Structure 1
Amino acid sequence: MAKQPKRILVLNVDIDDDVYEKTKVKGPVIGRKQNIEVASKLAVADPEDTDSNAIFEAVKTYDQLSKDYDVEVATLTGDKNLGFKANQKILNQLEAVQKSFHPEACVYVSDGESDERILPLLKTRIDIIDVKTVIVKQSKELEKTYFTIIDKLKDPHFARIIFGIPGFILLVYALAEVIALRILLGLFGLYLIIKAFGVEEKLFSGFSEFKFSLNKVSLIFYFVSFPLIIISLWLGVSAISVQSFSNIATEIAVFVKNFLLLFPIAILFIIAGKVFDLIQDKKHYLLPEYLTLTSAILLFWLLFNYAADWVIGTIAFADFLIASLLITTVMLLIMFLSRDFKTSIIGRMPLDGKSVYTEFGAEIGKIVGVNKKKQLIIIQNSSGVKFDVSINRISSISDKVTLN
C-alpha cells in the first residue's frame, strides 16, 4: 500500500510570467498571504487575466487541505518568451521551494492549456497527485486550439511544411519555366509519399547531424554523393526534354524513373558515411536507425519504380498494388526488428547512475534501472520519485543520457 503523503505543496504556474510583467513581483511567490497579495495586484492590473483566478484557486485549495495536512502554496513564474528559458526558470524555482518546504506530493492548479503544457516536466521533479483546472468565462476549447496552432508553427517539423514548401514552390514558379514547375510538383508528390510512410523525420534528423571533418572517413562518401545527386537531376530533366508527352502524369513518371537511377545510390553513400562515423565514435546503439533508413531508401526506390512503370504503362495496376502491399509489409517488419535491435543494444550498456536530460538541457534525474522486457528505463528524480520512460526515447548516450 502506498504511503499517504503528509506534506503537500499546492502549486500554480504562470508560464509566461504575467505576474512579473504586470505586478513587478518575481517568482517564486510562496505562502498564503503573499499569493493573495499578488493575485489581487494582478486582478487590478488586468481584470481579464486568468492567472489571478488560478492563484486564488490555489489559495482556496490550500485552505481546504490545511485542515488535514501540512500544506504550503506557491506560484512559480516562467518567462514571457516561453520555451526553454521559461521551463528552466520554473524548474529552478520549484527546486528552491522543495528545499524550503520538502513536500512529499503536489496538487497542481492550472488556468488552462497554456500552463498545463509544463505538467509533464513538473512530473519529473515532484509527485503530482491531483490536477485542478480553473475554468473561467471563456472558451476553453478555443484557448486549446490557439495554443495548439502556435506550438505547431514553432515546431520545425510543421514549419517546414506550412512555410517551407509553399515558399519553395513560389520561388521556383517565379524563376522557372513551366516544365520546371511540373518537375517540382512531381518532387512534392514524392515528398508526400515519403511523409506518409513516416521516413521524413529520420531523413531530416539524419541530414541535420552531418558534420564535415577532415578526420572523418565519411567526408569521402559525402564528396562522392553530391555529384551523383546533380547527375540524377540531369538524367531526369534530360529524359523529359528529348520527347513530348500526352499528359503530365507520364512526364513525371519518366522523370522519376530516370532520376532514381542514381539518386538512391547517392543517398546510400551519405548513409554509409554516417555509419562509419557512428562506428568511429562508438555510437553503436544508433546503427539500427540507419539500418531502417537504408531499408527504407531501397524499398521506396522499388515502390517508385513500380509506380512509374504503371503510369508509363509497362506493368498492370494489379502488379503495382501487390508490390506496394509487399513493400509496406516488409518496411513495417524492418522497423519492428530495428526497434528491438536498438533496445537490445542499449539494454546491454551500463546506464545505471547516469544523469538524464531533456533535449532542452533540463536535468530530469538519474537512471536507477532498466526493464529490458518492457523496454523501459527507470529514472529517479531529485525528490526521490521514480518513473518509467521508453528506451526508444533515448537520442544520445555519453557520460549522460539525453531524451527526445
Structure 2
Amino acid sequence: MLDEIEIGCATTNSKYKERLDCAVVKIPKSSTLSGVFTTNNFKSAPVKDCLKKFKKKLNGNKLLVINAGNANAGTGLAGEKDLELLLNCVSSMTGVEIKNILPFSTGVIGERLKIKSLTSAFEECSKNLKKNNFNNLATSIMTTDKKVKISKKVVKIGNKKFSILGVAKGVGMIEPNMATTLSFVFTDLKIAESSLKKIHKSICDETFNSISIDGDQSPSDSSILVATGKNLINSSKLLQTFKKSLEVVFTELSEKLLLDGEGATKLIEIEVSGLKSKTACKEVAKKIANSPLLKTAAYGEDPNWGRILSAAGNTKHKFLAKNVSIKIGQIKVLNKGEIHKKYREALGKKEFKKQRISLAVNLGPSKHCAKVKSSDLTHEYVSINSDYRS
C-alpha cells in the first residue's frame, strides 16, 4: 500500500531512550500537498517555516522531516537558526532543495534542539528509506502516547481502487483549531492542489478541530495531506467518494487520539443543536467538552447533568431555560426545561459506565447542530503532566 512513499526512522536517544523518535519521509515529484496548521499566536519555528513554504509552490521531490521530544517552540531566533542549520544538513545529505523540505517538531517547549544528535539521526533515516514503513513512522512521532495511531482504507470505484493511510500522534495539549498535534495522511490518487486543500480543511473542521482532551492548543499542531498521483481515476464520483473515505480515516485517527488521551478512560461525544448557527452550536459544545467538572464526572461515572447545563449556559450564546432538552445516550433527562418523568438516576449511571458516552443538548428550535468529542479527566492526567519534564 502506497509503496511510492519511502520512510526512514531512527533514534536520537535524547528524551526517549532506545525508541524511534525521528523520521524522514520522501514524497515523489508527482505529489500534491495540503497543510493545515495551528492558529495559536505562539507558533513553533517548524510551523512558521512550513507556512512560508506552503505560500510558494512545492516542486520536485519533497521531504517531511520529523522529530519527537523537542518542539523547537519558544526558542526565538536561536531556534529558527537551529532549524535552518538542520535543514541545510538534510538538504546536503539528500539532494532535496531546502524549499521542498517540510520540518515538524513535537515535545517540550522552550528547549533548543540537539543539532548534533538530530543531524546524525536524520542521516541514518535518509540512508535507510523503506517502503511500507508506516508503523515505524507512527512510533517515531509519539511523545506521551501509549499507542501508535494508524488508520487505513482501500476504496473501489468500478474495477479500480485507491488507498488512504494516515498516522497521528497526540494525547495531551489537545484543543485544536486546525488539525491536531501531528498527523500525516497519504493517498495514491491524483488530485489537484486546490481540491486537496479544500477537502483537507473541511474534514479537519469536522474531525480534528472537533475534539478536545484538555483545552490547550499546541504551538506545533500540523496536519499534512499528500496525494502522490500514482492512481488516475476518471470518475464524476471520485472527489465525493474520496472525501467520504478520507473523513472515515480522519475520524478514526481523532478518536484514537482521544482514547489514548493522557490518562483517558472514556470518549464523550457531545451534540449541541437549536442555536442560530452551526458555529454557535460548536462553541457551546466545546464549552461542555472542556468542562473539568463534566470530564471528572465522566471519569467517576456520575451522570451529573447539572454540569452540562452549567457549562452550556456559560457562553455568549443566549437561550431560554424552558427550551432546553438533554439526552444521555437514548435516555431523556430533561425535556423543555423539565426533568423527564421517566428519568431515573440509575438509567443515566448505566450510560456513564460505557466507554463511549453520548450527550445530546437541544437549546432551541433551530435545525443547526454541531458535534464535539472529548475525553474524561483522571488522576493519571495530573500525574503525567506534573512529571512531564522529569
Confirm or deny a common fold (TM above 0.5): no
Query: More relative contact order in 1 or in 2 (CA 8 Å, sep 6+)?
Result: 2
Structure with greater helix percent: 1
> How does the TM-score come out when normalised to structure 2?
0.24
Larger Rg: 1
